[in-house]
Amino acid sequence: MKDDLIVVAGGGGFIGGHLTAELRHQGYWRIRSVDIKPLDEWYQVLDDADNIVADLKDLDACRSACEGAATVYNLAADMGGMGFIENNKALCMLSVLINTHLLMAAREFEVERFFYASSACVYNADKQRSADVIPLKEEDAYPAMPEDGYGWEKLFSERMCRHFREDFGLYTRVARFHNVYGPFGTWDGGREKAPAAVCRKVIHAIETGQHEIEIWGDGNQTRSFMYIDDCVMGINRILHSDIEEPINLGSSELVTINGLVDIVEDIAGVKLERKYVLDAPKGVNGRNSDNARIQKYLGWEPSIRLRDGMEKTFRWIQHEYRTRPQLTGVKS
């Protein structure tokens, strides 16, 4: 119902901002967007939404957020790119309080639907040691050996959603995101992910005349990257589906990090000297999404080409870079 109250936890973040904007575009007019960041640091702000600054690790904040709500999307987490995840394991683990307290509040106020944003970081590391990776199936999360810190928090929170559904009848849906990218996201400061980082580094090289780029690892590690529009569409398809177990939400278009740099160089019309930092955080050697299950249940999978999404992302970051001159000296 378009007049139901919808809560977007993490609404000031990258994915939460896009989701809030899409819900508003679809005609939902009662949207409560909640984020810990000051309002002027939100990536997108809808003036006609109920925008609340609050720390959702606190139970009372979750109760205030969920009161009267029909649907809750939990996209809130303390996270970032691989550099942040590997160096802030305790902070990542503390996000477990957000999902736990939101579930408790959702049960108390009889929320009709609850969506949890999990991550491909839940997958067993032994299945991601080779760059020539076999796409990860949902059952590959067990036996458990997820990304330390962040991955364990996500896997635990998935189980919480399952048990609140089984024990209390709370309607929960869980999607495992595979590397989401696009405009209106983090592109500098240490929390950015590979697509945004590569865009920024290429732009920095062009703007400064220093025609080189730093790459973490040897560049042969493989990934898939999902454009934000596919992510938002997938979130709502999964929320309103019969899929009770966690499901992959990611592109199956595999690329190496070197290949990602090739794409951005082609978009920018430049060729850079590559400097490889072999002792930098680089994550697993290979990860890709097996989309057989989402195709079976929804007859759909993320399909926006990486080249197309990266061009939009590059142009947006380029504009941001050039209009924020105080940041043009950021380390490349």
Q: What are phi and psi of 213, to 5 degrees?
A: -135, 135
CATH of the domain at 167: 3.40.50.720
pTM value? 0.93
Region 162-172: what's the mean pLDDT? 98
Q: Is residue 24 part of a domain?
A: yes
Q: What ranges in 26-112 are assigned the alpha helix state H?
A: 59-66, 82-87, 89-93, 96-108
Q: Would you say residue 329 has pLDDT above 60?
A: no
Whether residues 207 and 92 share a domain: the answer is: no
Among residues 73, 116, 150, 227, the one annotated as catalytic is: 150
150 belongs to the catalytic site: yes
Give the residue numbers spanning the domain of 56.
Answer: 6-180+227-249
Q: How far apart are CA 172 and CA 243, in angstroms?
A: 9
Q: Is residue 17 part of a domain?
A: yes
Q: Report, in angstroms and rounded to the nearest whole number, the Rg of the chain calculated over CA atoms.
A: 19
- Contact indicator for 95, 76 with CB cutoff of 8 Å: yes
Whether residues 234 and 314 share a domain: the answer is: no
Q: How far apart are CA 134 and CA 104, in angstroms?
A: 37
CATH of the domain at 206: 3.90.25.10
Q: Is residue 323 part of a domain?
A: yes
Tokens of 278: 């072999």
Instruction: Give the confidence band of 332 by pLDDT, cuts at 50, 70, 90.
Output: very low
Model confidence pLDDT, tens digit, residues 245-297: 999 999 999 999 999 999 999 999 999 999 999 988 777 888 999 999 999 99
Whether residues 27 and 141 share a domain: the answer is: yes
Q: What is the pLDDT of residue 328?
A: 44
Whether residues 30 and 175 share a domain: the answer is: yes
Q: What is the pLDDT of residue 271?
A: 97
Q: What is the pLDDT of residue 173?
A: 98
Exposed/middle/buried for residue 256 (C-beta within 10 Å: 0-12, 13-18, 19+) = middle
Instruction: Give the confidence band of 325 by pLDDT, cuts at 50, 70, 90.
Output: low
Whether residues 215 and 110 share a domain: the answer is: no
Whether residues 72 and 217 share a domain: the answer is: no
Whether residues 20 and 160 share a domain: the answer is: yes
Q: Is residue 105 part of a domain?
A: yes
Q: Is residue 296 part of a domain?
A: no
Whether residues 274 and 320 share a domain: the answer is: yes
Q: Is residue 111 part of a domain?
A: yes
Q: Is residue 1 part of a domain?
A: no
Region 163-187: what's the mean pLDDT? 97
Q: Is residue 66 part of a domain?
A: yes
Q: How far apart are CA 106 and CA 89, in angstroms?
A: 27
Whether residues 25 and 68 share a domain: the answer is: yes
Whether residues 208 and 108 share a domain: the answer is: no
Whether residues 76 and 215 share a domain: the answer is: no
Whether residues 242 and 258 share a domain: the answer is: no
Instruction: Give the confidence band of 326 by pLDDT, cuts at 50, 70, 90.
Output: low
Number of domains present in the structure of the chain: 2
